Amino acid sequence: MASDSTATPNAIGRYRIDRVLGAGAAGIVYRAYDPVLNRTVAIKSGRIEQLDQAQLQHLMAEFRHEASIAGRFAHENIVAIYDLIEDRGLTHIVMEYVTGRSVQEYLQSVGPMPVEAVLSIIYKCAEGLAYLHYNGVIHRDIKPGNILYHHAGDLVKIMDFSIAEAIDQPGPRESGTAAYMAPEHFDSTRKITPLTDVFALGATMYRMLVKRYPFSRQNIAAEIMSAQQVPVHEIRPEIPLPVSQIVDRAMAKTDAARFQSAAALAHEIERVLGACYPGSLIASQRDAYMTSL
């Protein structure tokens, strides 16, 4: 095994480390300060004390892949990648520091989220995905843990592009998180396309609304392929039927029955927000725009 101290470093390259923001089995994210550009950043690093040499090399390759994919994007609903640096023989990703926490953390602490908030978050994610798809990239791992959210500023950011791929080179079929995978992940006759992200966003919306997975984890591949999820309005009756229908259409088994783009999903959410929650910020902005035409 690679050996190293588990203590938080004082610095990585020119960046002064402030504190740990989060850690997983293989990676750790620090809050840091860039003295050259006078800004706070986040730095993703490997937890080398947890990894053998082969695992470490794989993780560093993922970091380089993520930076090469996401580093060229600039969108308000996508976490920006600022730099890829080498320090003490390791690769680190320097990215935008975002106040808030993941949607997964919100679900764990507060349970199902308010319906209007879910619509707003999914709308912004759909806008971010539409931008990605327009630029030729499929995210491939949309889930609550990869969406950053801060309710005070209604800030929403998609993160983690470690398995994102070009649309014409979609990569290994099995990559992703099983609970949010579309049927085409399990059917070798079908392609991974931007609509795969639409399905994952629908499954994410399902989880945010009812805090339940759409399918059981015991037979998940078979259920995703052929079983119909319980509609969210049957689990949580206060959810308006049009909202439930958005989830079901986003999670349609076939490409033809699904929203035909992330932009189409965003447009439908905008319409339903205007009908069901006319006081929402997105609905108000839409009304103001329509009035100005």
Catalytic residues: 141
β-bridge pairing 147-150 and 90-96: unpaired
**Token pair for 28:** 């750790």
Strand arrangement of the beta sheet that strand 155-158 belongs to: 101-102, 147-150, 155-158
All residues at 6 or more sequence positions from 84 whose CB lies less than 8 Å from its CB, including other chains: 63, 64, 67, 71, 91, 92, 93, 94
**Token pair for 283:** 């609905």
SS3 content of the chain, % helix, strand, coil (to 5): 40, 20, 40
**CA angle at 215 for the pair 214 and 221, rounded to the nearest 5°:** 130
Burial code (b: 16+ CB inside 10 Å, e: under 16) for 138-160 equals bbbbbbbbbbbbeeeeebbbbbb
Please check whether residue 125 is in contact with residue 76, taking contact to mean a CB–CB distance below 8 angstroms.
Answer: no
